[in-house]
Amino acid sequence: MKIKGAIFDFDGTLFDSMFIWDTLGEDYLRSIGKEPGAFIGEKIKTMSLYQAACYFKDEYDIALSAEEIVRSINQRIEHFYIHEVQPKPGVISFLKELRQAGVSLCVATATDRYQIEAALKRCGMDELFLEVFTCGEVGHGKDEPVIYRKAMEFLNTDRSNTVIFEDAYHAVETAKNDGFHIVSVFDKSESRQEELRQMCDCYLPDFLHTDSFWKFASAT
């Protein structure tokens, strides 16, 4: 197997958690008495949490600082990550297979580190990953390839032997345009499944049926 490094998105890829994000912006704005505009979920989908907070502050004339907005939103979701969110079926066994094959793993996510690390630890998955990279810490959302490049640098791999696992169209597009190998993972929150199939190098309906990945990996 020539693949040496794998970079995993968290929400919608490793864990079944996208449903909380799908209405998070609307729920937050309504909680402070602001009526969200149409398609707000799509507008903030490519943003980090801090970028979304800045957008809320400017667009809805919120008196709070962006940092205060981020803290408020985090309070609404941290219980979910610390106590409730679950990995997708089959993902733990698949990750262990990758490790046994000598592949180094890390996470690249738009969610805050402490929430990701809490979920991984609770589910017994923290030791499978060498590092967690977050959009907030690298200072760029997944509309840019910076987080993938930093993760690859940490893994000491290159684009020829690194694969990125993502569920969201915008993230797949970013990574693909930057020259990475892409495995697209189905999640019901992403409507553009046919486009993902055409763009990615390998498409997984779930982690219980991964034969197509191993065929791809053996040929890469």
pTM for the model stands at: 0.82
Kindly state whether residues 144 and 62 are assigned to the same domain. Answer: no
* Mean per-residue pLDDT pooled into runs of 10, the chain (220 residues): 92 92 86 90 83 94 94 86 95 98 96 93 97 96 96 97 96 97 95 95 96 90
Kindly state whether residues 198 and 211 are assigned to the same domain. Answer: yes
Structure tokens at 133: 């990279």
Kindly state whether residues 190 and 100 are assigned to the same domain. Answer: yes
Q: Is the dihedral of CA 213, 99, 131, 161 positive or negative?
A: negative
In this prediction, residue 113 carries a pLDDT of: 93
Kindly state whether residues 52 and 154 are assigned to the same domain. Answer: no
Alpha-carbon distance 133 to 188, whole Å?
Answer: 24
Q: Residue 176's closest CA among 161, 159, 193, 189? A: 159
pLDDT tens, position by position, 121-147: 999 999 999 999 999 999 999 999 999
End-to-end CA distance of the chain: 8
In this prediction, residue 20 carries a pLDDT of: 83
Query: How many C-beta neighbours within 10 Å does residue 153 have?
Result: 10
Which of 37, 59, 84 finishes a domain? 84
Alpha-carbon distance 10 to 31, whole Å?
Answer: 26
The domain in which residue 59 lies consists of 19-84
Kindly state whether residues 163 and 178 are assigned to the same domain. Answer: yes
Which of 27, 58, 84 finishes a domain? 84
Which of 84, 112, 136 finishes a domain? 84
